[in-house]
Amino acid sequence: MPTRTDRPLSQEAEVLAERLVSALRGGDSAAGSLADALVERGVHSLKRLVPRGSLSSPAGDEWNRSCTLKLIGQIAAAKTSEPIVARTLNALGYFAGGDAVPDIRRLMMSRMRKRQPSSAEQDTVLNGLYALHLIGGPEAVKTLSEFQGTKYPERIRERAHWYLNELGGRIVDLMFGSDDLSETMTESNTRLPDDSAHP
């Protein structure tokens, strides 16, 4: 599938990803700001905040796939704080391809093994759902459907339902016609379930 990210922007993202991996390995306090910067690059990589893939076809990689593998490997292996894991999953939604979906799902499921997952763990899952709906494809659809099950917290079920609808093009509002990114983000925020803001 053709990529939608300008090459200079994806190169910047690759540099940030490498720096984030290094920071996580070394326990660098800069990891949080690097994760935030990577998400910011992701937001600006899209013309509109709509899924990159579709129900039937996942998006392609917007950067060198090694960046995806290194980031997933690092946040899975290291004792990374939940907010950084959450932001990293969010960023993967903008740059990773369909091959990342099983790994994202595993990271999400590991947070749901407890009877009462913490608020931070739930936030990680919400950001994973967001990433999956941007990537799209049958495996992402399967996971979004799975997280609508009654055994999951209500806020996660609602978000999974919302994202699956958006991926299928069943949510139509002003954000789909806006070329102004700030306006688009505002519209997206207002359309999400009321319990929390956009990841």
pLDDT score for 186 = 32
Q: Does the residue 73 lie in any domain?
A: yes
Q: Does the residue 1 lie in any domain?
A: no
pLDDT score for 169 = 82
- CA-wise closest residue to 142 among 171, 167, 110, 117: 167
What is the model's pTM? Answer: 0.82
Q: Does the residue 144 lie in any domain?
A: yes
Q: Considering its fold, how many domains does the chain have in total? A: 1
pLDDT category of residue 196 using cuts at 50, 70 and 90: very low
The alpha-helical segments, DSSP class H, found in the chain are 7-26, 31-45, 65-77, 82-95, 101-111, 119-135, 138-146, 154-167, 181-191
Average pLDDT, the chain: 84
Structural contact between residues 156 and 166, judged by C-beta atoms closer than 8 angstroms: no
Q: Does the residue 101 lie in any domain?
A: yes
Crossing angle of the two packed helices 154-167 and 119-135, in degrees rounded to 10: 10
pLDDT category of residue 6 using cuts at 50, 70 and 90: low
Give the residue numbers spanning the domain of 161: 7-191
Q: Does the residue 55 lie in any domain?
A: yes
Question: Is 179 strand, coil or helix?
Answer: coil
Q: Does the residue 35 lie in any domain?
A: yes
Q: What CATH number is associated with residue 71? A: 1.25.10
- CA-wise closest residue to 193 among 164, 167, 161, 170: 161
Q: Does the residue 16 lie in any domain?
A: yes
- In whole angstroms, give the CA distance from residue 138 to residue 140: 5
Q: Does the residue 2 lie in any domain?
A: no
